[in-house]
């Protein structure tokens, strides 16, 4: 697929297979939607983890095999483009950034092979691999062709903001800890991580292990944005707590947005994303323990729902906001997709990206982050340029940090 060019930006789909380590017998297919500047001089990359569907096709395995034989450009699984539901690309134009959306084909279990219910750190590892692949090889599936790869390289740096919605928000927490922590925590938790990449053919070509690529060719996390993050624990996966514990020590801007009416992240998530009760263990409290110097900040959208962030409706996601599944805000009108909350989200990403100098991560201290233009904009009942209101925290602020 050649890139689709719209104004000064290109859109392309990238596919590859990966193994988490060369010893892992399982293959996971990764698909990436990527928007990048036509001049191929992106100052950074936003890597977004989507929050619900991994893919719509139950016949993935035979289709993958047939695609390998007959048409390596034809995706066997990805009828839904992840960027379709989270198109915040208006936020990246002014600062000349790129934005990518990763999805994968791993199975949660044999009966629901296309849906990810959360709690699996592997998905965060995949996002880190996807960002590193784009940094190193660019927007092409033919990584083994050096001349073609050079034509599609678009990054001036390896700086990446990891972001995500719902279970994707929790997955982004994993990726944002960086390669060394992904390896260390993965080793301790039985999720070893030193991936290799294959192209999508029957007798595939393969990259070297990620650890051999060189630091400048791997993603460098410089920020984290979580939209209503949802974590889960089950017999297969233990959730992201070890990664949140590590994030408490990492000095990068870290922003969590929750919705006042969002039962999925405030009630169903294990643990809840946020609570006003300091005695309750939450995703936020694990990233920002009381008395710490953690960089994590949270804001709460009044009437905010779980799916109001979406730029297109999705029936599967919207079940989380049905009155039968959510008892919060029974007497309030929750935000729907493609409306005020999704417009707010695009503006939020623009404000977040604006704090980064060209071709650089955030250069300030924790206090500089707390005093940044992004948080000054957010610390208002009605952030400028938006139609939403935020819930006020104790003390009169609209953003909270320890």
What pLDDT score does 78 carry?
47
Residue 122 CA: distances (Å) to CA of 49, 190, 203, 356, 384: 12, 11, 25, 28, 37
17 three-class SS:
strand
The phi, psi pair for 331, rounded to 5°, reads -100, 15
Secondary structure of 56-96 in the HEC alphabet? CCCCHHHHHHHHHHHCCCCCCCCCCCHHHCCCCHHHCCCCC
DSSP designation for 266: I
What pLDDT score does 112 carry?
42
What pLDDT score does 105 carry?
64
Residue 78 CA: distances (Å) to CA of 81, 82, 84, 87: 7, 9, 12, 17
Q: Which of 325, 120, 122 is nearest to 234 (CA)?
A: 120
Please, what sign has the CA dihedral across residues 209, 24, 78, 68? Answer: positive
The second-level CATH assignment, the architecture, of 4-378 is: 3-Layer(aba) Sandwich (3.40)
What pLDDT score does 65 carry?
63
Q: Which sequence spans correspond to the domains of the chain? A: 4-378
Residue bearing tokens 């939607």: 33
Q: How far apart (Å, rounded) are the C-alpha atoms in residues 297 and 252?
A: 11
What pLDDT score does 109 carry?
41
What is the full per-residue pLDDT of the chain (402 aa) written as tens digits? 567 788 899 999 888 888 999 998 777 878 899 999 999 999 999 999 987 654 445 555 566 566 656 655 454 444 557 788 899 999 999 999 999 998 876 544 434 444 556 788 988 999 999 999 999 999 998 899 888 889 999 999 999 999 999 999 999 999 999 999 999 999 999 999 999 999 867 678 999 999 999 999 999 999 999 999 999 987 777 899 999 999 999 999 999 999 999 999 999 999 999 999 999 999 999 999 999 999 999 999 999 999 999 999 988 888 899 988 899 998 899 999 999 999 999 999 999 999 999 989 999 999 999 999 999 999 999 999 999 999 999 989 999 999
What pLDDT score does 61 carry?
57
Residue 116 near residue 123 (C-beta atoms within 8 A): yes
What pLDDT score does 108 carry?
40
The phi, psi pair for 401, rounded to 5°, reads -150, 155
What pLDDT score does 79 carry?
54
**Global pTM value:** 0.93
Q: How far apart (Å, rounded) are the C-alpha atoms in residues 269 and 147?
A: 46
Residues 6+ apart with CB under 8 A from 109: 236
What pLDDT score does 50 carry?
83
What pLDDT score does 3 carry?
75
Q: How far apart (Å, rounded) are the C-alpha atoms in residues 5 and 1?
A: 12
């Amino acid at each position: 697929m050649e890139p689709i060019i719209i104004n000064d930006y290109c859109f392309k789909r990238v596919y590859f297979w990966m193994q988490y380590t060369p010893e892992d017998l399982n293959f996971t297919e990764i698909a990436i939607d990527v928007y990048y500047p036509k001049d191929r001089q992106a100052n950074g990359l936003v890597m977004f983890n989507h929050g619900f569907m991994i893919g719509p096709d139950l016949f993935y395995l035979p289709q993958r095999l047939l695609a390998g034989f007959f048409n390596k450009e034809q995706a066997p699984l990805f009828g839904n483009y992840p960027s379709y539901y989270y198109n915040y690309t208006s936020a990246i134009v002014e600062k000349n950034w790129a934005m990518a959306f990763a999805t994968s084909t791993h199975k949660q279990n044999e009966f629901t092979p296309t849906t990810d219910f959360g709690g699996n750190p592997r998905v965060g590892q995949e996002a880190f691999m996807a960002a590193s692949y784009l940094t190193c090889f660019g927007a092409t599936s033919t990584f083994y062709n050096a001349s073609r790869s050079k034509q599609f390289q678009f990054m001036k740096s390896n700086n990446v903001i990891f972001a995500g919605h719902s279970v994707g928000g929790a997955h982004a927490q994993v990726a944002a800890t960086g390669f060394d922590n992904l390896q260390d925590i993965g080793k301790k938790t039985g999720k070893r991580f030193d991936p290799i990449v294959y192209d999508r053919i029957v007798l595939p070509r393969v990259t070297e292990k990620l650890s051999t690529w060189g630091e400048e060719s791997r993603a460098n996390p410089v920020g984290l944005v979580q939209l209503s993050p949802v974590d889960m624990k089950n017999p297969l996966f233990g959730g992201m707590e070890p990664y949140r514990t590590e994030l408490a020590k990492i000095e990068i801007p870290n922003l969590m947005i929750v919705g006042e009416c969002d039962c999925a992240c405030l009630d169903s998530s294990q643990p809840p994303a946020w609570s006003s009760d300091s005695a309750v263990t939450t995703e936020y409290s694990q990233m920002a323990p009381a008395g710490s110097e953690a960089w994590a900040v949270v804001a709460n959208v009044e009437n905010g729902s779980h799916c109001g962030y979406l730029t297109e409706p999705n029936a599967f996601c919207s079940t989380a906001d049905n009155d039968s599944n959510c008892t919060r805000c029974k007497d309030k009108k929750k935000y729907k997709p493609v409306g005020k909350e999704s417009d707010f989200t695009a503006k939020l990403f623009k404000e977040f990206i604006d704090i980064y100098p060209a071709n650089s991560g955030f250069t300030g201290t924790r206090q500089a982050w707390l005093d940044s233009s992004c948080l000054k904009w957010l610390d208002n009942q009605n952030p400028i340029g938006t139609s939403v209101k935020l819930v006020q925290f104790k003390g009169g602020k609209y953003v909270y940090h320890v």
